[in-house]
Structure 1
Amino acid sequence: MFERFTQSARQVVVGAQEEARSLGHDWIGTEHLLLAAVRSPEAPGAATLVRLGVTAENCRAAVASVVSPQGDALGPEDAEALKAFGIDLDEIRRRAEGAFGDGALDAPVSDQGAKPRRRGPFGRRQRRDRTGSLGVPAEVPGPSGHIRFTGRAKKALELSLREAISRKERHIGVEHIVLALLRGDDKISQGMFQQLGVAPAQVRDLVLADLRSAA
């Protein structure tokens, strides 16, 4: 799939990794893809967002307001829903910190106890397949290790392919990524656009209109 990405679209994917690192995040989400897209204000799709007042600066402010330090961590509504099933997250945290110290649940999970990697012939370790469905990688390599794509980010990249197919275009450009992001139905994407004052369905129509006029 990635061989169909234009150079500008590839820069969005790489830029998303840079945005994640700059924000101290160890995941790549739709928020980082959006941030990277508006860094190319002249690119199709991104230009529409910029014309509507979306910038890297107010995107970062929106990220700070809707994204928890744990990324896809459960929010207050989720916690209340779990209480209905007899699961009290606050009580679980209190007990864990009482037994293991403050912040016990915030520490990264270690690899101890993980299943050993399978070994191939001659005792060599087999490489894990880091490619997901439709060729979307599960992780992006970087100087400080790999950063994983969240499920919603992978879905957005897969949708960008579908956007290109629906327009009968052979390449995947920034415009297709933007159109895919505007289709996001997860709480992070919806929260981001709400903070930015963007109505996704209406902006999708504007992006498509701009693409038609530029054709």
Structure 2
Amino acid sequence: MFERFSRGARAVVTGAVGHAERAGVGAITEEHMLLALLDQEGTKASFAFRALGVSDRRASVEAALEDARRRGGLSQADEEALAGLGIDLGTIVSRVEETHGAAALAGDRGPSPTAGKGWRSGHRPFTREAKGVLEKSLRIAAGRRDRTIGDEHILLALAVGRGVVSEVLASHGATYESLERAMFPPA
């Protein structure tokens, strides 16, 4: 599949690897892909981010991602579902952080004894969800009858998914529909 990636899509993948390395985590996530997309310039995705005002609110996007990381990767929808069951996620996070330190629920930080040989050698695998985004980007490109997979297809795949990244995008005005309109205006 990687051979069908455009230069921009390849830059997103390598940028995501860089974000994972700088964060000191063992795997590349959807979050790393979004951050790499935000780094791009002169691409369809960067145009859409500028058109929708997301580029100007990068700090807010990063803060929302960090907040979700603090909650153990749970989305606002997850938090609302738990609240419906009488579970206050904020209280749980606070108690865990009191006992285990700030960002204790943030997940994979630094080398893990079970990280495997690949992580120590510099190779970081993609999480199941991140692989799913790449697969969706292929389906989106094929559905549009595009010959290559571009950064715009990766962005649409992130927006159409469920979870923190699509929720953060939507909360910043970048829904699948608005992104599609910005990147593929009607002829």
Question: How far apart in 2 are the matches of 1:59 and 1:89?
Answer: 28
Measure, in 2, the Cα distance between the counterparts of 1:11 and 1:42.
12
Aligned residue for 2:9, secondary structure, equals helix
- Measure how far apart 1:2 and its partner are: 0.8
Contact kept in structure 2, 1:164 and 1:171, CA below 8 Å: yes
Report the Cα offset of residue 152 of structure 1: 2.7
1:50 maps to amino acid: R
Structure 1 position 72, deviation (Å): 4.9
Paired letter, 2:63: A
- Matched with 2:37 is 37
**2:137 counterpart of 1:160:** yes
> Does the aligned pair in 2 maintain the 1:34–1:178 contact within 8 Å?
yes
Higher share of residues assigned strand: 1
* SS, match of residue 50 in structure 1: helix
Partner of 1:11: 11
Judged with a 3 Å threshold, the aligned counterparts in structure 2 of structure 1 residues 175 and 199 are, in CA distance, closer, same or farther, namely closer
Q: TM (normalized to structure 2)?
A: 0.68
Aligned to 2:168: 191
With over 3 angstroms needed to count, the CA separation of the structure-2 counterparts of 1:147 and 1:52, relative to structure 1, is: same
Between structures 1 and 2, the one with greater helix share? 2
Alignment-derived partner of residue 48 in structure 1: 48
Cα distance change, pair 49–143 in 1 and its aligned pair in 2 (3 A): farther
Unaligned runs of 5+ in 2: none
Match of 1:178 in 2: 155
**Pair member with larger Rg:** 1
Determine the C-alpha separation between the residues in 1 that align with 2:96 and 2:178.
Answer: 42
Contact conserved, 2:140 with 2:153, CA < 8 A, in 1?
yes
1:205 aligns with 2:181: yes
Aligned to 1:120: none
Classify 1:146/1:89 alpha carbon distance in 2 versus 1 (closer, same or farther; 3 Å): farther
Equivalent residue letter for 1:5: F
Q: Does 1:147 align with 2:124?
A: yes
3-state SS of 1:163 partner: helix
Provide the secondary structure at the position in 1 that maps to 2:152. helix
Partner deviation per Cα, 1:82-137 (whole Å, 9 max, x = no partner): 777xxx967x959xx5xxxx45x94969537x9xx9xxxxxxxxx9xxxxxxxxxx
Q: Does the CA contact (< 8 Å) of 1:160 and 1:179 recur in 2? A: yes
- Which amino acid in structure 2 is aligned with residue 111 of structure 1? P
**Local SS of the residue matching 2:177:** helix
Change (3 A) 1:72 1:150: farther
Q: For residue 149 of structure 2, what is the amino acid of its counterpart?
A: I
Deviation at 1:166, TM superposition (A): 0.8
How far 1:177 moved relative to its partner?
1.3
Query: Do 1:25 and 1:71's aligned partners in 2 also have CA atoms closer than 8 Å?
Result: no
How far apart are residue 54 of structure 1 and its match? 2.1
CA distance in 2, matches of 1:83, 1:93: 18
Q: How far apart, in 2, do the equivalents of 1:145 and 1:187 lie?
A: 26
Identical aligned residues as a percent? 31
Unaligned runs of 5+ in 1: 118-126, 128-140
Task: Tell me if the contact between 1:8 and 1:174 (Cα under 8 Å) persists in the aligned partners.
Answer: yes
How many angstroms apart in 2 are the aligned matches of 1:204 and 1:21? 30
* 8 Å contact kept, 1:37–1:178: yes
Partner Cα distance (1:83, 1:163) in 2: 39
Distance in 1 between residues matched to 2:64 and 2:33, nearest whole Å? 17
